[in-house]
Structures are given as C-alpha cells and as structure tokens.
Structure 1
Amino acid sequence: MEQWIYFLHPPRENFAGTMTDEEQAVWGEHVKLLTQRLEEGSLILAGPTLGTTNTGICVFEAPDEDAAQAYMQADPAIASGMARGELRGFQAAFLRGATAG
C-alpha cells in the first residue's frame, strides 16, 4: 500500500472562523468521513493548519494514484467545491515511536 497526502485549500483566509451554515454542514460530513476512514484504517492522520490560512492535510494509504485520486475526490469538502484538493505521493520517513528502516 502506498502513502499519499492531500491538501484541502480553503476558499478564503480565516475559513475556520468564518464558515457559513452551509459550509459547516459540509465540513460536518467531511469530519464524519475522516472518522470512518480512521476507524477502517486507511487514514493515517488529518487536521488543519492553524493561523489565517486553514489548509487541511490528510495522509492516507491507497494502492495506486487512481485510487488515491478517488479517495480525495470523495471528500465532501472537495466534492462540494468548497475546498480545492491537491494530491501528492508521500512517504513518512520519520515517525515518532517507529523504528527507522
């Protein structure tokens, strides 16, 4: 299984502090999906960056780029058009508590 990362680029600065009711509803669905993926084991970590630009990151496993692209596109924040997704391959090289090698 390969590791991937996608970035969720918000539509404006201070997005977390200025969400409309509609945006909050979509982000609620985003949180539900990430929780499900974490429980299923495909999600490694996810969260927002802090400050005025609340870019989100999602590190996960998928078998190939097509599957990774589908994984990202299924995120309600991206599927709704409220956030722009950016997919890249990823490799966790240093992880606290993990043995190097």
Structure 2
Amino acid sequence: MSEWIYFIHAPRENFAATMTDEERRVWAGHAALLRRRLEDGSLILAGPTLGPVNTGICVFEAPDEDAARRYMAEDPTIASGIARGELRPFRAAFIRPAQRD
C-alpha cells in the first residue's frame, strides 16, 4: 500500500464559522465517512487547518493512484462540489512513537 494525502480546499475564508445548513449536512457526511475509514484502517489521520483558511487534510493508504483518486472523490465535501480536492503522493517519514500512560 502507498500513502496519499488529499487537501480539501473550502470555498471561502472562515468557512468553518460561516457554513450554511446544507454545508453542515455535507460536512456531517464527511465526518461519518472518516469515522468509517478509521474503522476499516485505510485512514491514517485527518483534520482541518485552523485560522481564516480552513484547509482539510486526509492522509490515507491506497494501492495506486486510481484507487486514491476514487477514495478522495467519494468524500462528500468533494463529491458535492462544495470543496475542491487536491491529491498528492505522501510519505510519513517522521512519526512520534505512541505515548504510554
């Protein structure tokens, strides 16, 4: 499996604070999909950048670029046309070890 990252480019600045009801519904579907992807083990990490430009990132595994493009395209934020997706190959080179309690 290869690692990939896709960026979710929101349609405007301060998007998280100015979402419409429809946009909130789409983002709720996005969150549900990410939870399922965590459970199936394909998603490595995901989250938004903070501040006025709310770019989301999703780091995941896929066997090849075609599969990675399908994975990104299935995200409701991108499939709906509300946000724009940008896919790139990725390599997690430095990872903090798990913390022990």
TM-score, with normalisation over the residues of structure 2? 0.96
* Cross-structure match for 1:18: 18
Q: Percent identity?
A: 73
Q: Deviations over 1:6-65 (max 9, x none)?
A: 000000000000000000000000000000000100000000000000000000000000
The residue type equivalent to 2:39 in the other structure is E
C-alpha separation between the residues in 2 aligned to 1:71 and 1:85?
A: 11
C-alpha separation between the residues in 2 aligned to 1:13 and 1:95?
A: 30
> Does 2:95 correspond to 1:95?
yes
The two structures, once aligned, show a CA RMSD in angstroms of 0.7
The residue type equivalent to 2:26 in the other structure is V
* Cross-structure match for 1:33: 33
> Does 2:8 correspond to 1:3?
no
Tell me the SS of whatever aligns to 1:11.
coil
The residue type equivalent to 2:46 in the other structure is A
Unaligned runs of 5+ in 1: none
* Cross-structure match for 1:55: 55
TM-score, with normalisation over the residues of structure 1? 0.96
Runs of 4+ in 1 over 4 A off after TM superposition: none
